[in-house]
Amino acid sequence: MSYVFYPGCSLESTAKDYALSTKAVVAALGIDMPELAGWTCCGSTAAHQTDALLALALPAVNLAAASGNTVAVACAACYSRLKLANHEIAGDAESRRLVADALGADYDGSTPVKHLLEILRDDVGFAGLSEKVTKPLAGLRVAAYYGCLLVRPPAIMRFDDAENPTVLDKLMAAAGAETVDWPAKTDCCGASFSITKTEIVLRLSRGILAAAREAGADCIVTACPLCQLNLDMRQSDIEKKHGETFRLPVFYFTQLLGLALGLPASQLGLRGLLVDPLPLLTRKGILQPEKAVAR
Amino acid sequence: MTTVIERPLPLSTPPAALQALLTSDALSLCFQCRKCTSGCPVAAEADVKPHEVVRLVQLGATDELLASRFIWECTSCGTCEARCPQAVALPAAIDALRRLSRERKVAADPAVPAFNDIFLATVRQLGRAHELALMAAFKLRTRRFSQDFAKFPTMLRKGKFALLPKLSGDRAKRQRIFRRAREQRKAP
């Protein structure tokens, strides 16, 4: 299967660490994934809340440009918007007509869309992946957090079990980490309200952080730029507001997988995380103390 | 009825038909089990609960819904729809309510619509979202200058904000898409 990579806007800014670590991991695994030339924004939450046609046409421009390749996506929000657009365009003739009129060309909704986690599961395989692990994340207790957009609506996303997904847990197990059993895997972090309705984000993200800590996790691992930003950047605000200290590092799965594959920390964007993960990683012997100093 | 379950609410329904959509069969399958409200992350503080949204639509009481806080506090997490025994597509209905609420200029919350407009204007101009420009414009529009101000130096130092926007894609095609969307919204 040939891929084109659709990074999405977050990976150029707040999720730069996700972009860096994805690039490093994909290269290490020998997956050919050139960036989709001239890609544009999927429209995100703003489009579907504002206008029905924009919500379909903005993803469709990119899907049509993939010319038969499978679109590989890192961001859970882009993944959701691209798949929902495909579903609607392929299943509803009037939607397809409206999109064709807006784009100036027909698009039938058939470009395959896969999240990086699905590519690792289906193409590389977790058994194959664990063979490539040179530095297993032994002793690291991880809370695998999926959030909303990968799994819901389940009938369209068809990603994993919507209430108890396990793909990220299995990936972390392949990397040698231990994942905790916890109830907040698919709870909402407050998503795009980070700027507009911060108080909702603080309340919801606090619940997720508390559940991870309660389950005995050392850290959280995510596959979504919005989730990562809310749980990481908003942690200090939650601590301030509720007088509750978490100090739980929140990784992108590509960062932890990269460490397990023996990639240098400098290629994985670990410095970009706001809750410093280096004390945890050195305590667990995953990074050497001198390397942490040399960062 | 089965077709209703398979295709509960087409996302692409043109604005002219929004009113009809909201009173369509798609939401009539609800029998008020309240599973949606039980699982909703923001229902506890909501002025209208998710199961009440469906009931009010069934009763045709859309004015109350369009002016509710809840339609702007819903995080679009989709838990309601995923757990609904009748597969009622509540998130799509709430999106339709948001659009109609803006069309009628009765939106209870100014911040989220303002943010969405600025976001889309950036995408229309540049092709991609640009967070720094987005934040600046949002702060100017909503006068929330102090919020998160202390975070800027850290975010900049960590390289979390791209300073310059990147222009991408076919601008003419994008203008056409936004123009068509506007025409559809204005269509009778």
pLDDT digits (tens, 9 = 90+) for A37-96: 999 999 999 999 999 999 999 999 999 999 889 999 999 999 999 999 999 999 999 999
**Which chain B residue has its CA at the smallest distance from A94's CA?**
B12
Smallest CA–CA distance, residue B110 to chain A, in Å, is 9
Residue A294 within any structural domain of the chain: no
Say how many Å lie between the first and final Cα of chain A, rounded: 37
Shortest CA distance to A37 belongs to which of A11, A71, A10, A81? Answer: A71
Domain C-terminal end among A116, A143, A164:
A116
Residues A59 and A138 in one domain: no
Task: Provide the pLDDT confidence category of residue A201 given band limits of 50, 70 and 90.
Answer: very high
Smallest CA–CA distance, residue A152 to chain B, in Å, is 6
Residues A100 and A130 in one domain: no
Residue A186 within any structural domain of the chain: yes
B158:A272 CB<8 A: yes
Number of folded domains that form chain A: 2
pLDDT digits (tens, 9 = 90+) for A219-273: 999 999 999 999 999 999 999 998 899 999 999 999 999 999 999 999 999 999 9
Length of chain B counted residue by residue: 188
Separation of alpha carbons B101 and B71, rounded Å: 9
Q: Which of B66, B112, B183 to mutate to test the interface with A (most CBs of A within 10 A)?
A: B112
Q: Which of A10, A13, A87, A236 to mutate to test the interface with B (most CBs of B within 10 A)?
A: A13
Is the predicted pLDDT of residue B148 greater than 90, yes or no? no
- Residue A72 pairs with which residues in a beta bridge? A5, A114
Task: Kindly state the tokens that stand for A279.
Answer: 């004390």
Instruction: Give me the mean pLDDT over the A30-39 stretch.
Output: 96
Residue A30 within any structural domain of the chain: yes
Residues A22 and A163 in one domain: no
Separation of alpha carbons B4 and B7, rounded Å: 5
CA angle B117, B118, B120 (to 5 degrees): 65
Residue A138 within any structural domain of the chain: yes
**Which chain A residue has its CA at the smallest distance from B110's CA?**
A196
Residue A137 within any structural domain of the chain: yes
CA angle A199, B115, A84 (to 5 degrees): 95
**Which chain A residue has its CA at the smallest distance from B154's CA?**
A274
pLDDT digits (tens, 9 = 90+) for A14-23: 999 999 999 9
| DSSP string for residues in B87-110 | ---HHHHHHHHHHHHHHTT--S-S
**Which chain B residue has its CA at the smallest distance from A187's CA?**
B41
More confident residue, A69 or B147: A69
Is the predicted pLDDT of residue B121 greater than 80, yes or no? yes
Domain CATH code at residue A12? 1.20.1050.140
Task: Kindly state the tokens that stand for A174.
Answer: 């392949």
On whether any CB of chain B is under 8 Å from the CB of A93, the answer is no
User: Which one of A13, A153, A196 has the shortest CB-CB distance to B82?
Assistant: A153
Residues A13 and A146 in one domain: no
ipTM of predicted complex:
0.93
Separation of alpha carbons B136 and B143, rounded Å: 10
Helix, strand, coil in percent for chain A, rounding step 5: 55, 10, 40
Provide the pLDDT for residue B13: 46
CA angle A108, B120, A20 (to 5 degrees): 80
More confident residue, A289 or B18: A289
User: Which one of A55, A200, A272 has the shortest CB-CB distance to B160?
Assistant: A272
Task: Provide the pLDDT confidence category of residue B12 given band limits of 50, 70 and 90.
Answer: very low
Residue B19: list chain A partners with CB under 8 A. Answer: none
pLDDT digits (tens, 9 = 90+) for A158-186: 999 999 999 999 999 999 999 999 999 99
Provide the pLDDT for residue A103: 97
| Contact (CB, 8 A) for A62 and A42 | yes
Residue B116: list chain A partners with CB under 8 A. Answer: 45-46, 49-50
Separation of alpha carbons A81 and A141, rounded Å: 32
Q: Indicate the DSSP class of residue A185.
A: T
Residues A104 and A196 in one domain: no
| Contact (CB, 8 A) for A253 and A221 | yes
Separation of alpha carbons B64 and A196, rounded Å: 23
Residue A295 within any structural domain of the chain: no
Q: Which fold has domain B2-103?
A: Fumarate Reductase Iron-sulfur Protein; Chain B, domain 2 (1.10.1060)
Please give the residue range of the domain that contains residue A103.
Answer: 3-116
Domain C-terminal end among A92, A116, A140:
A116
Residues A146 and A83 in one domain: no
Residues A192 and A220 in one domain: yes
B-contacting residues in A 121-180 (Cβ below 8 Å): 148-149, 151-155, 162-163
| Contact (CB, 8 A) for A55 and A129 | no
Provide the pLDDT for residue A232: 97
Provide the pLDDT for residue B178: 96
Provide the pLDDT for residue B36: 98
* Dihedral in degrees, nearest 10, Cα atoms B169, B170, B173, B174: 40
Provide the pLDDT for residue B22: 61
Separation of alpha carbons A97 and A8, rounded Å: 26
| DSSP string for residues in B131-176 | HHHHHHHHHHHHT--STTTTHHHHHHHTT-S-SS----S-HHHHHH
B166:A12 CB<8 A: yes
Smallest CA–CA distance, residue B165 to chain A, in Å, is 10
Q: Which of A16, A50, A275 to mutate to test the interface with B (most CBs of B within 10 A)?
A: A50
Shortest CA distance to B162 belongs to which of A19, A35, A10? Answer: A10
pTM: predicted TM-score of the whole model, two decimal places: 0.93
Smallest CA–CA distance, residue A42 to chain B, in Å, is 9
Domain CATH code at residue A203? 3.40.50.11810
Smallest CA–CA distance, residue A28 to chain B, in Å, is 24
pLDDT digits (tens, 9 = 90+) for B153-177: 888 888 877 777 778 889 999 999 9
Residues A151 and A133 in one domain: yes
